[in-house]
């Protein structure tokens, strides 16, 4: 898996964090740079930590599923992406937007909740022989930047882009899952 695919996975995984960051930005009558930094740091940090944990969990079970690992990668990415697409179409009302306070406990819970998908992606990385250090660097950095951007966008434009971002992230993950499966089945010409 190349850098482009890893960046696309990073963008796809960061869409939940981006959507929640937009909601946090809606709460800010004035941009608070310290809060913006911590929101981006928590989301980016957890989005990098979870694939690392998943990777080491996947390495423990690699010998048992190496013959069908591409199906596992496809199923996990398709499920995660499908869930994101469903939630975007369903049209959540951004429950996180209703609270108007900043707390590290709440931020930690939101960062964990938005990065659970990255744990499953980390498991697939173990089977695909992906450089985990490059992966978590890219995923964490992309999420950091997009989360900070989300706070700013939320402050400026409101929640009108939340569902579109989640839909895009879901589609990206499903397409990457399909690409992995088709490559292992040798159905792609390249």
pLDDT tens for 127-171 read 887 899 999 999 999 999 999 999 888 877 755 566 676 677 678
Cβ atoms < 10 Å from Cβ of 34: 8
| Domain boundaries along the sequence of the chain | 3-61+102-184
157 contact partners, CB below 8 Å, separation of at least 6: none
The pLDDT of residue 132 is 93
Calculate mean pLDDT across residues 55-59. Answer: 88
132 vs 126: CA distance, rounded Å? 8
pTM: 0.71
Tokens representing 97 are 């937007």
**DSSP secondary-structure letter at 91?**
T
pLDDT for residue 188 is more than 80: no
Residue that has been written with the tokens 């969990």 in this structure? 57
What confidence category does residue 97 fall into, taking pLDDT thresholds of 50, 70 and 90? very low
Q: How many residues make up the chain in this entry?
A: 190
DSSP, collapsed to helix, strand or coil, labels residue 90 as helix
DSSP, collapsed to helix, strand or coil, labels residue 154 as helix
């Amino acid at each position: 898996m190349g850098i482009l695919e890893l960046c696309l996975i990073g963008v796809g995984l960061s869409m939940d964090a981006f959507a929640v960051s937009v909601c946090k930005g809606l709460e800010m009558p004035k941009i608070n740079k310290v809060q913006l930094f911590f929101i981006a740091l928590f989301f980016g940090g957890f989005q990098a930590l979870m694939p690392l944990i998943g990777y080491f969990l996947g390495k423990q079970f690699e010998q048992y599923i190496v013959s069908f690992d591409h199906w596992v990668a496809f199923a996990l990415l398709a499920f995660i992406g499908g869930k994101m697409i469903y939630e975007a179409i369903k049209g959540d009302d951004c429950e996180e937007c209703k609270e108007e306070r900043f707390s590290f406990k709440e931020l930690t819970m939101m960062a964990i909740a938005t990065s659970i998908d990255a744990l499953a992606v980390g498991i697939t990385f173990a089977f695909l022989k992906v450089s985990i250090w490059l992966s978590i660097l890219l995923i964490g950095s992309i999420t950091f930047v997009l989360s900070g951007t989300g706070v700013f966008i939320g402050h400026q434009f409101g929640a009108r882009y939340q569902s579109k971002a989640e839909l895009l992230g879901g589609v990206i993950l499903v397409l990457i899952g399909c690409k992995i499966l088709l490559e292992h089945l040798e159905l792609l010409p390249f």
